[in-house]
Structure 1
Amino acid sequence: MDRHLLPEEIDLLIDGEAGFGVAPLKAHVRRCAECEAELETARLIAGELDLIPHFSPAPLFADRVMQQVQVFEPWHVAARDAVRQLVPQSTPARVLAAAGGLTFATLFSLAALWVVARVDLLAMVSGLALERSSETTQGALGAFARVLMGDGAPAIGAGVLALAVAAFVVTVVGATAGLRAVTASGRRRQG
């Protein structure tokens, strides 16, 4: 062997490993004074390290460390844990909760079937509600325009109302996207 021993090879000799690759290492140590001195120094250090007393950490050390660690919890795990907290622990309470849930599901299903059977009534009520809300919104916008521009303000039609609603929606969507971008940028800087 034309080179000196590597640290891993010295560790093999200190640990007393056996195998076909250890014999050439031992032969090299017998011939090379520098590697023999290095091996003796490593043995002395290992012996001294064995004499150091072993200390165990404080009882709450792991708790203090884990309080500082941010653990990512997927949404489905958080949802499952939230549902588990709502489920009663005792058997009678579980039976009662199941009966209540079954009753609610039955009533909700019956109500849904009644609504589906009465689609014409539902269409009439929703159309009436939409018409009333449109008239109320147009009246409010017209009153607002008259306050701003005086009594000579033009009447607000459905097109102007649709344009105002579209502008409002675009503004809200743009503001939301902007806030998300700022938040994401801040999170990247923290991480």
Structure 2
Amino acid sequence: MSKKLMFASVLAIFLLTACGGQAADEMKSEAEDKPKQEEVEKEEKQIDVKIDVNEELSFEQFDVNLKKVRVYEEDNKILADISLEWRNNAYDYGSDEMTFFVATTFEVKQGDNELEEINDAWNPENKSSSNDVFFPNALGGLWGVELTYELTDKTTPIDIIFTPNTETEGSETITVDIPE
């Protein structure tokens, strides 16, 4: 074999190996980047869902209709706006009006975690006519309540627990699943 032919063969093998190695490196790099890119897309995709619940509960002194829950992200927090209406049925209460605060205790949980209402609506020091929880609802009256809770995650169902402030009734829970 001549030296030129041998040199050409070695050069061809070298070029094929180099090009093949570079292509393999590029394919390997792309394969490694794909999961990272998908992870970034998942992190960037913020949740914002409105869940129509429309579930009603009846108690001795009030009825409640959990209308909807909106789960969304804001300021690196996962929040849930809870919208409900309640009717004052406390005809034997001895007053022409009652507040939601007097009618029930209200607890929101995700798994074992009790969630915090971030607007401090249940604080008795926050009594005002603009605070839905302390609004004096007339007998037979229907009133809306809007509350916002900080969630622990985007997937665990939310338990909304009503415990009437009577001695004869127990708690009832409405569970809201968060769609993916």
What TM-score bracket applies, with the shorter chain setting the length? under 0.3
TM-score under structure 1 length normalisation: 0.19
Higher relative contact order (CA 8 A, sep 6+): 2
Question: Which structure has greater strand proportion?
Answer: 2
TM-score, length of structure 2 as denominator length: 0.20
Choose between structure 1 and 2: higher helix proportion.
1
Larger Rg: 1
